[in-house]
Structure 1
Amino acid sequence: MPSSSATPARRNQQGRPRRRRPQAKAGNAKPAKRSLFDEVGVTAVDPAPFADLGLPKRLVRALHDNGMREAFPIQAATIPDALTGRDVLGRGQTGSGKTLAFGLPLLAMQTENARPMRPRALVLVPTRELATQVTDSLKPLAKSLGLYVREVVGGTSFNRQVDTLRRGVDVLVATPGRLNDHLRQGTCDLSEVERTALDEADQMADMGFLPQVREILDLVPSDGQRLLFSATLDGDVDKLVERYMTDPVVHSLAPPSASVDSMEHHQFLVSTTDKQSVLARIAARDGRTIMFVRTKHHADRLAKKLRAVGVEAGALHGGKAQNARTRILDEFKNASSSTLVATNVAARGIHIDDVSLVVHVEPPADPKDYLHRAGRTARAGSSGTVVTLVTDDQKQAFRAMANQAGVTAITTEIRPHDAELARLTGAREPSGTPLAVPQRQQPKPAKSRGEHRPQRAPRGTEPSRRGGDSPRRGTGSGSGNNRARRGGTNGGRTGAQQRARRSNSPR
């Protein structure tokens, strides 16, 4: 019999003994798996002329015509390997030129035009804005080779995209959700895709798109080429590499934290009561400013407050229709508005020249979010300033996040009228004159696939005088409006006269 001093086994709610988790033995802890980026280290590649990378002469000439003669390091490192047909896995800091790193090989290796609804090359991106940017970058270059680059994204007409696909698209740039819609409807076929590029794969993982990405890649021929660019190989992205890439050539130009070196990072300690005034003065500065917030409601609210004090500001977030998002970005790019208030939808892949200041209205919780938001400034060798507004209750969280991001921020206590605020950011007093929201004609909503035109109202019905949509009661049919004008129920006509009048009227 067991000793009475023995400790009784713990039991679960069903009365069964609980299973103990196996304890790891000292010294036998499993080491963290090293990613392919960690294994290869940082690739040292100097810029090189596009003419030396093996690209077709017509494509090199088109690059020269667009003012591009020398490839950035990420392009010089990956393009020669991609042109051999090898799978390529690449990492480069934001603004390093990844779009052409995968886009030029996709164009250069096209041997014939695509058939209707069967693209020959595919680019998957996480956001509509990035899809538009990739398309705009590749279109003029593709034209020199007689190729067509088009995008398929949500928020725009499905039927127009169907018409585009039917005309034949050589390089299709798509977001996973909308492309899956076309695949389910049978309006796109990936069986002839020869090369696939995934841009910002880690962001697609963060946004929950990888199940859709896997569905898409399962429909692409397995012997095709894969080009994948990602800042990290965390979790699901690593699984994606293992499942869909074959012996990839790996180029790691810089870790995500490398981009912080060309920026000034500041932590502004502000009180809750001063925060809005500080933001308004920063937004009134000369130059382009992006202010990042966490939610779409905060973006709309802050942009409205800034306009109320005379600052041209627009809000950009995923809750807006695509045409509105495009318009707001265009206004910011052409300096019609000086301040963009955005959620993380603008944190990656969006290239806007001369953004000299990025403001975190609240400290981001994720260090990757901080780095990618900050990467909207100091692009392609330029310098920039990154400011985070921190209240007393956020100090500890910001310190922990900054340490993980590898950022050392200069801490300054700030009040709205401090000279230091003006010196560091160019802040100034806004005009105080409210700006009216421009009145724009609302476009007619696009008719999506499967929609039918609304049926005409039955004869004898008309909108109620009270402004409702319910039918007007009465015995007449086609002459309700005439009856209303003449003040009678049937305009003084008998039922037989009304029927005769209807039968003789033109249809």
Structure 2
Amino acid sequence: MSTPATTGPTFADLGLPPLLVQSLNREKITAPFPIQTAAIPDVLAGRDVLGRGPTGSGKTLAFGLPMLVRLAGAPSKPKRPRGLVLAPTRELAAQIEKALDESALALGLRLACVFGGVPTKKQAERLARGVDLLVATPGRLADLLDQGAVSLEDVRVTTVDEADHMAAIGFLPQVTTLLDRTAKDGQRLLFSATLDGEVDELVRRYLREPVLHSTASAVAPVATTEHHMLFVARADKQAVVAEIASRTGRTIMFVRTKEGVDEVAEQLRSVGVVAGALHGGKTQNLRTRTLAAFADGETPVLVATDVAARGIHVDDISLVVHVDPPSEAKDYLHRAGRTGRAGESGTVVTLVTEDERDAVTRLTRKAGVDLVGVEVRPGSRELVALTGAAAPSGVPVPAAEPVTAPPAAPRGPGSRERRQRPGATTVRGGSRRGSGAATPGHRRRGGR
């Protein structure tokens, strides 16, 4: 993780209260990132904010910390949260909740997360006990509203995260319906890696004189990330993918379709690579376990679709592989943003067959990356040099099977386990180590 500047502002300088600053220090988060420095004072002042920064730039804490401060000191009524964060995917919603968990606890606030793929009963029960800040996917929140399990009438501050992705997957109608259920004079925040024409209508309709904070142009973060285009014969592609996946280090591979994800993961496991598959067709239990295994390092390779990977905020991903080239420049940016996070270095490679060369060249240039392609074959010196590729063991490994986790044993009053908010029910993907928790003695910036 990059070292914070010694002359920059502190979280206390930005207006965060001492209890919250102390909580951040305990998590080894000692200095704000640029997007946090820019946005936190305006959010604390009650202004509407448009925030843009690349993945890993710290957007979650940029909106989450000041939201918590604004909600502190006035408990919410049952079923009536006062803060709302909308996220496009289950994984991203869970990651946001995890990133804000300790900070909410420090301020005595109740935090909950609701998303699809799991029964609504426990989520409704949690809301009935009272929640101050609710993190939700639009579809599940709409279901809970229809059931009368929640009301948005008391919501005073709302964040729409990854707004461009909401638009791309058709969630904007649901988002607007949900925003219409919140107070018209409430504070609205919109954060995303990109802010393009697809979200203009949302901004004009719901944000009042928003302050724009952008910490990066809409191009790939080439300063900390190396980008390479690998020309590969179609007949060699499967073998090349297997050798790249056999490298040392955490690797994420992007495939265009759910069926393709399963096929690539199965092929990798058949030659001895421990690989997980992540896409929207998996059960929530299996998705959570797969992401946790990747974050823990038990599964060094994750094969995923674009939509599923939106919620992956795991440090130390050293290589991103476009097994299937993305269809749009902004998808390239989002995929590439899984590595080179928070100032760390990373590598992005795109596998390109003969018939894809022209289209991929145009796409990468639009994304701000002008590349010269390199011809590679299985075992070639160039492939090893650029990716760390190695020969797979050839010994098949089994695929993980979905299981139902047993209920947690009740904790006694003397338990030394991590403190938990009363009534917290969500399952979170990843471990503290996988989600970027610093090792003892390591100073960390606010990169969430």
TM-score range, shorter chain: 0.7 to 0.9
Residue of structure 2 in register with 1:287 after alignment: 249
Structure 2 match to 1:63: 24
SS, match of residue 184 in structure 2: coil
Letter in 1 for 2:321: V
| C-alpha contact 2:91 2:310 (8 A) present in aligned 1 | no
Look up the match of 2:422.
none
1: CA distance between counterparts of 2:17 and 2:378?
56
Report the equivalent of 1:85: 46
1:261 is paired with a residue whose SS is: coil
Tell me how far apart the structure 2 counterparts of residues 193 and 57 of structure 1 sit (CA, whole Å): 25
Deviates most, 259-268 or 178-187: 259-268
Residue equivalent to 1:51? 12
Identity %: 57
Q: Secondary structure at the match of 2:324?
A: coil
CA distance in 2 between counterparts of 1:287 and 1:437 reads 20
Q: Tell me the TM-score normalised to structure 1 length.
A: 0.77
Task: Please give the alpha-carbon distance, in whole angstroms, between the structure 2 residues aligned to 1:361 and 1:47.
Answer: 40
- Structure 1 counterpart SS, 2:398: coil
1:249 to 187, 211, 214: 211
Aligned mate of 1:94, from 52, 55, 59: 55
> Normalising by the residue count of structure 2, what TM-score does the alignment of the two structures yield?
0.87
1:304 CA displacement? 0.6
**Superposed displacement of residue 47, structure 1:** 4.6
> Given residue 285 of structure 1, which amino acid in structure 2 is its aligned partner?
R
Contact 2:275-2:301 at 8 Å conserved across structures: yes
Q: Which of the residues 194, 200, 205 maps onto 2:167?
A: 205
What 5-or-longer segments of structure 1 have no aligned partner?
A: 1-45, 445-507
Deviations 1:448-487 (A, max 9, x none): xxxxxxxxxxxxxxxxxxxxxxxxxxxxxxxxxxxxxxxx
| Shift in alpha-carbon separation, 1:50–1:224, aligned structure 2, 3 A | same
Q: Is the 8 A contact 2:53 2:194 kept in 1?
A: no
Instruction: Give the SS at the match of 1:427.
Output: coil
Whether the 8 Å contact between 1:94 and 1:259 is mirrored in structure 2 is: no
Name the CA distance, whole Å, in 2 between partners of 1:440 and 1:295. Answer: 21
Residue from 125, 140, 144 that aligns with 2:102? 140
Whether the 8 Å contact between 2:52 and 2:191 is mirrored in structure 1 is: yes
- Select the structure of larger CA radius of gyration: 1
Name 1:16's counterpart in structure 2: none
Q: Is the 8 A contact 2:286 2:403 kept in 1?
A: no
- The corresponding residue for 2:355 is 393
Q: Find the counterpart in structure 1 of residue 284 from structure 2.
A: 322
Q: Identify if the C-alpha distance between structure 1 residues 268 and 249 changes in structure 2 by more than 3 Å, giving closer, same or farther.
A: same
**Equivalent position SS for 2:282:** coil
Q: Deviations over 1:282-314 (max 9, x none)?
A: 001000010000001000011011000000000
Cα distance in 1 for residues equivalent to 2:208 and 2:253: 41
Q: How far apart are 1:260 and its partner, in Å?
A: 2.9
- Asked whether 1:108 is paired with 2:69, we answer yes
Aligned to 1:370: 332
Q: Is contact 1:347–1:369 with CA below 8 Å preserved after alignment?
A: no
Q: 1:84 to 1:343 in 2, by over 3 A?
A: same
- Determine which of 134, 154, 170 is the counterpart of 1:192: 154
Quote the offset at 1:350 in angstroms. Answer: 2.1
**Superposed structure 1 runs of 4+ greater than 4 Å apart:** none
User: 2:244 is aligned with what amino acid?
Assistant: I
Alignment partners' CA distance in 2, 1:389 and 1:79 = 40
How many residue pairs get matched?
399
How big is each residue's C-alpha offset from its partner over 1:59-78, in whole Å with a ceiling of 9 and x where there is no partner? 11111111111110000000
How far did residue 258 of structure 1 move? Answer: 4.8
How far, CA to CA, are the matches of 1:414 and 1:276 in structure 2?
A: 13
Counterpart Cα distance in 2 of 1:231 and 1:63: 24
**Structure 1's 439 and 203: CA in aligned 2 closer, same or farther, altered over 3 A?**
closer
Distance in 1 separating the partners of 2:169 and 2:231: 31
Question: Equivalent residue of 1:393, what SS?
Answer: helix
Per the TM alignment, residue 440 of structure 1 is displaced from its structure 2 partner at its CA by: 5.1
1:257-300 Cα offsets, whole Å, 9 max, x none, are 15233211111111111100000010010000100000010000
Residue pairs, 1:78-477, within 5 angstroms: 78-110=39-71, 111-439=73-401, 441-442=403-404
Give the distance between the partners of 1:116 and 1:168, measured in 2 at CA: 4
Provide the C-alpha distance between the structure 1 equivalents of 2:255 and 2:362, rounded to a whole number of angstroms.
19
Q: Which amino acid aligns with 1:201?
A: A
C-alpha RMSD of matched pairs (Å): 1.4
Kept after mapping to 1: 8 A contact 2:265/2:276: yes
Greater relative CO, 1 or 2 (CA 8 Å, sep 6+): 2
- The aligned amino acid for 1:317 is H
Instruction: Give the C-alpha shift of residue 377 in structure 1.
Output: 0.4
- Once the two structures are TM-superposed, the CA of residue 358 in structure 1 deviates from its matched residue by 0.4
